[in-house]
């Protein structure tokens, strides 16, 4: 049923049935008294651009983009925010008379979950980022904006991590950003973020337990009904742990703010999802 005068939003993905985004945005809309609809849309693997243009033709105002279309969304956008350019990927699209603008709210969502929900400041801390793919790349600029003492990026292929260091080192200041293989990580860290896809295979990034100390915050970008293998591993070595659900809610709030100009409160939505 179409409700007249109501703005339309959606999330594109493949697969998409599991997405919690419609529940999150419905809760945000109710709490902020915004009139909108938000639905899941399964885009064909070879038909993402067509699916987006069809949604725009139906009057769509904006969309979220999830796996595997974030790089395609980056290429499709006519304009990009600074953080989308830095991430090299887009998870949020805004449609207006100027065309398609691409944004990336993932890293901002991660940082908000760490600093606000977990109450752990990033400033002056030693941060370890595991992985150097799209998820990790989107996190680097928002982390550096909080001025950590060090940001170490560890990846199976060291060259990929080194490419990130080359891109972002000028923003971090002298010697702040470094790269290594998983086996070359040096010392312990205050915040350890698993941005690898290992948890999807119930696998563990091959890092030494010595990266954790009592009081380390270990966050896995993945989430599920049970703690991930990485979370269990980190907890067994003294870390406090979080999954990616808070990041999911916070990146959604950031997208909602970009679309509506209103920043929804997230605590109640996150508590209800838990």
Annotated binding-site ranges for shikimate: 19-21, 66, 91, 106, 223, 251
Q: Which residues are annotated as a binding site for NADP(+)?
A: 131-135, 221, 244
Q: Where are the alpha helices (DSSP H) in the chain?
A: 21-32, 48-57, 70-76, 82-87, 106-112, 134-144, 158-172, 229-235, 245-260, 267-273
Is residue 225 flagged as an active site residue?
A: no
Q: CA–CA separation, 128 vs 179, rounded Å? A: 10
Q: Euclidean distance between the first and final Cα of the chain, in Å?
A: 30
**Helices vs strands, H then E, count in the chain:** 10, 12
Q: CA–CA separation, 151 vs 172, rounded Å? A: 8
Q: CA–CA separation, 89 vs 42, rounded Å? A: 19
Please identify which of the residues 8, 40, 61, 70 carries the catalytic annotation: 70
Q: CB atoms < 10 A from the CB of 191, how many?
A: 22
Q: Within 13 Å and on the Cβ side, how many CA atoms surround 53?
A: 6
Q: How far is CA 269 from CA 36, 51, 172, 218, 266, in A?
A: 17, 29, 33, 22, 5
Q: Which residues are annotated as a binding site?
A: 19-21, 66, 91, 106, 131-135, 221, 223, 244, 251
**Do the Cβ atoms of 83 and 104 come closer than 8 Å?**
yes
CB contact set of 78 (below 8 Å; sequence gap of 6+) = 98, 99, 100, 101
Look at strands 126-130 and 150-154 and give their pairing: parallel
| Residues classed as catalytic | 70
């Amino acid at each position: 049923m179409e409700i007249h005068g109501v703005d339309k939003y959606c999330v594109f993905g493949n697969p998409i049935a599991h997405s919690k985004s419609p529940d999150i945005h419905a809760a945000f809309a109710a709490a902020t008294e915004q009139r909108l609809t938000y639905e899941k849309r399964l885009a064909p693997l070879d038909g993402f651009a067509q699916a987006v243009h069809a949604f725009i033709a139906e009057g769509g105002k904006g969309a979220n983009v999830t796996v595997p279309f974030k790089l395609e969304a980056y290429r499709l956008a006519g304009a990009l925010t600074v953080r989308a350019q830095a991430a090299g990927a887009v998870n949020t699209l805004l449609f207006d008379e100027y065309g398609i603008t691409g944004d990336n709210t993932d890293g901002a969502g991660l940082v908000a979950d760490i600093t606000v929900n977990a109450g752990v400041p990033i400033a002056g801390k030693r941060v370890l980022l595991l992985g150097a793919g799209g998820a990790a790349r989107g996190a680097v600029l928002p982390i550096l904006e909080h001025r950590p003492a060090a940001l170490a990026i560890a990846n199976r292929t060291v060259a990929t991590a080194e490419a990130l260091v080359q891109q972002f080192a000028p923003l971090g200041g002298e010697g702040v950003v470094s790269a290594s293989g998983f086996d070359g990580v040096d010392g312990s860290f205050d915040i350890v973020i698993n941005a690898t896809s290992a948890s999807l295979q119930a696998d563990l990034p091959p890092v030494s337990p010595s990266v954790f100390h009592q009081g380390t915050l270990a966050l896995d970008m993945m989430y599920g009904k049970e703690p991930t293998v990485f979370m269990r591993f980190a907890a067994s070595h003294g870390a406090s742990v979080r999954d990616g659900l808070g990041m999911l809610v916070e990146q959604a709030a950031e997208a909602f703010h970009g679309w509506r100009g209103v920043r929804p409160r997230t605590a109640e939505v996150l508590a209800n999802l838990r």
